[in-house]
Amino acid sequence: MANRFSIKHQPGFTAIAATCFIVLYLPIVVLVIYAFNAATSTSEWGGFSLKWFQSAWQNTQVIDATLRSFQIGATAAVFSTIFATMAALATTRTAPYPGLTFKYAAINQPLMVPEIVTGVALLIFFSRIKIFTGYSGLGYLIAAHTAFCIPFAYLPIRARLENMDLTLERAAADLYATPWRTFRRITLPLLWPGILAGLMLAFVISLDDVVITEFVKSGGQDTLPTYMLGQIRRGITPEINAISTVFLLLSVAIVTLFFFISRKHA
Amino acid sequence: MPDKPDRNAIEVVKVSKIFGSGEGQVAALDTVSVSIRENEFFTLLGPSGCGKTTLLRLIAGFDFPTAGEILLYGQDIAPLPPFKRPVNTVFQSYALFPHMTVAENIGFGLEMLGKPKAEIKARVDAMLKLVKMEALSARRTSQISGGQQQRVALARALAPQPKVLLLDEPLSALDYKLRKEMQIELKRLQHETGITFIFVTHDQEEALTMSDRIAVMSSGKILQVGSPRDIYDRPSERFVADFIGESNFLKAEVVGVSAGRATVKLSSGTEIPASLPEGLVPKGKVTIVVRPEHAQLSAASPSASLSGTVENIVYLGTDTHFHLRLADGEPFIVRRQNSRGTGDGIVQGGKVGILIGGDAAQVLKD
């Protein structure tokens, strides 16, 4: 019996698994259902309607915040992935040396320092820069997002690099490829699934951020999450549910897309 | 074997490679010098950790020597990076590029050398033909078998027509039958391309089968360089005799030396002739080596070189091993080829004589 010790056969396994899934997904299912509520309440069902989707679509503030979120997310994801790729190469394509662990910690710092601390620090830091330069555009949000996205992009890229056979790069060098061409023709194509995973993760993390954005943003720079938070303070309508539902679908679509792209490359 | 021109493709001059520093430093290679001739199938043979792969890596350029020179047709290549050396490697793990087809893998080196497309195509086709892989040129390297990957790795390394081809235990991942086939295949490729091959292995049989010359290595040093027959028949040191084939080691005393040969007295008191390693003038107590198939059994008699008791008889089909115990308590093995017929009266526990012929014994340096 190959499966005798399988965890699936332990008593209570199914019940525990089912409970976990219900706790995770039931609230989301309820949220999605109430996005189609004809009534103005998020708890009393008043029949099926698409009106909240329509109202969200016609709400220029929602559209602005969404576009801003995408703009910040895309830019921050690209920059953080470039930095993360360079960091991953520098920390794996070298013999271990004293201080390497410290560098890992420095790169992964945003995962360890509480977001609220980073938020406050950036608020103070950027306000000084704003006074000196007079610039108050999206650059501050992009810079902040890039910084905290780096570890999320770094981890899958580094994992991919660590599993890559170093002999391949050596073989390319042996076959007359200069270090740059070895990188372009061998390392980069083989690293591509890791880079895509990093890019996707960074994008989704940026899209989702509230705490740091809330501290760094200037007036009129709401992203979709900070806009939604602001709306909820004034009272919830199913419009929030509708926006969340679209947001959810978009995230799932992006993750699925990247999954298939990276699987094709792997 | 046709006469080879006496031109050296590679000269390794007093090369040392030291890893680590201070107390923990290890000499992977200790002032090694060796010359590898043009068009030669040269094997570096030794146990793991003897420095053979380190030497190969230094020639390939994946590592740089701590001291010494590596000359390729007279030019010192030791400081050059690998992509500037006209030397290619077949890796133990093959290291085929998984995101490229068989043909793209083979053409990679030529592409990096900036050859025109038409030339690359012609050369890749010729290589595919050489290793009999024409049918699989469009396959991904993950879609072909281990033996086929081996052929692609060979074709890829041969395609840019390197001055020297380095092979790092390329057959170790193959099963026995395929390994035998590839041994013959490698010899054929070397012959057809005329490229100097430097082959690294820990497998003595592989080394004996394929090589023109073998360098036996141990603990970062080259102990002996010679043809397979030299190495097998005339081992210069105990390690070489022990590592390649089976050996009987006997204590003896030198009683006379003349014209490169010695007369030694065995423990039984019998005096026999023995060959000497080059440059050795032995004195006093020495160790001599006798291969099990170079000694004969006889009836116990005073005219035999040695006498002993039969402890064990092992029948192996093609030949029989007689495990003997000599009068002085040392073990001795005699191997005899079998022929059809009945036994010859040698039985376990019986007394036998051992004859060591005129050319069977070799004095060791240590």
Span A76-129, pLDDT tens digits: 999 999 999 999 999 888 777 888 888 888 888 888 889 999 999 999 999 999
Residue B238 domain-assigned?
Answer: no
The stretches in chain B having pLDDT less than 70 are 1-6, 342-343
Cβ contact B97–A168 (<8 Å):
yes
Chain B CA closest to residue A175: B109
Number of domains in chain B: 2
Q: What is the CATH number of the domain that holds B225?
A: 3.40.50.300
- DSSP characters over B42-102: EEEE--TTSSHHHHHHHHHTSS--SEEEEEETTEE-TTS-GGGSSEEEE-TT----TTSBH
Whether residue B252 sits in one domain with residue B141: no
CA distances to A81, A182, B13, B26 from B60, in Å: 34, 16, 16, 21
A14: tokens are 């199914």
Whether residue B217 sits in one domain with residue B138: yes
What percentage of chain A carries pLDDT values higher than 70?
Answer: 97
Q: How many whole angstroms from its chain centre is CA B254? A: 30
pLDDT of residue B181: 87
Whether residue B160 sits in one domain with residue B289: no
Contact by Cβ (8 Å): B140, B148: no
Tell me the nearest-neighbour CA distance from A186 into chain B, angstroms: 7
Domain end among B212, B233, B254: B233
Whether residue B346 sits in one domain with residue B251: yes
Residue B239 domain-assigned?
Answer: no
Residues 91-120 of B with CB under 8 A from A: 91, 93, 95-99, 108-109, 112-113
CATH code: domain A53-265 is: 1.10.3720.10
- pTM for this prediction: 0.81
pLDDT of residue A1: 46
Is the pLDDT confidence value at A169 over 50?
Answer: yes
* Greater pLDDT, A62 or B2: A62
Whether residue B145 sits in one domain with residue B223: yes
Interval B281-329: pLDDT, tens = 888 899 999 999 999 888 877 778 888 899 999 988 889 999 999 988 8
Enclosing domain of residue B72: 8-233
Tell me the nearest-neighbour CA distance from A173 into chain B, angstroms: 5
Centre a 10 Å sphere on the Cβ of residue B319 and count the other Cβ atoms it contains.
13
Whether residue B175 sits in one domain with residue B82: yes
pLDDT band for position A265 (50/70/90)? low
Whether residue B187 sits in one domain with residue B258: no
Per the prediction, chain B carries an average pLDDT of 90
pLDDT of residue A105: 86
CA B46/CA B206 separation, integer angstroms: 12
CA A94/CA A166 separation, integer angstroms: 11
Residues of B within 8 A of A167 (CB-CB) are 91, 93, 95
Strand runs (DSSP E) across B184-226, as ranges? Answer: 196-201, 213-218, 221-226
CA B351/CA B298 separation, integer angstroms: 10
A234: tokens are 């004034």
The contacts of residue B13 (CB under 8 Å, 6+ apart) are B33, B68, B69, B70, B71
Cβ contact A171–B81 (<8 Å):
no
Interval B163-188: pLDDT, tens = 999 999 998 888 888 888 889 989 99
Residue B1 domain-assigned?
Answer: no
Whether residue B302 sits in one domain with residue B180: no
Half-sphere exposure for B284 (CA within 13 Å, toward CB)? 2
Interval A185-235: pLDDT, tens = 999 999 998 998 899 889 999 998 999 999 999 888 999 999 999 888 887
pLDDT band for position A260 (50/70/90)? confident
Is the pLDDT confidence value at A46 over 90?
Answer: no
Cβ contact B89–A171 (<8 Å):
yes
Domain end among B187, B202, B233: B233
Whether residue B205 sits in one domain with residue B59: yes
Instruction: Give the three-class secondary structure for A215.
Output: helix
CA distances to A96, B59, B116, B123 from B110, in Å: 34, 20, 9, 9
Residue B358 domain-assigned?
Answer: yes
Domain locations along chain A: 53-265
Residue B326 domain-assigned?
Answer: yes
Is the pLDDT confidence value at A55 over 50?
Answer: yes
Tell me the nearest-neighbour CA distance from A164 into chain B, angstroms: 11
Contact by Cβ (8 Å): B70, B10: yes
pLDDT band for position A43 (50/70/90)? confident
Residues of A within 8 A of B113 (CB-CB) are 176
Residue B190 domain-assigned?
Answer: yes
Cβ contact A171–B109 (<8 Å):
no
Domain end among B205, B233, B261: B233
Residues of A within 8 A of B160 (CB-CB) are 175-176
Strand runs (DSSP E) across chain B, as ranges? Answer: 8-19, 26-37, 41-45, 67-72, 75-76, 87-90, 164-168, 196-201, 213-218, 221-226, 248-258, 261-266, 271-275, 285-290, 295-299, 306-315, 319-326, 331-337, 351-356, 361-363
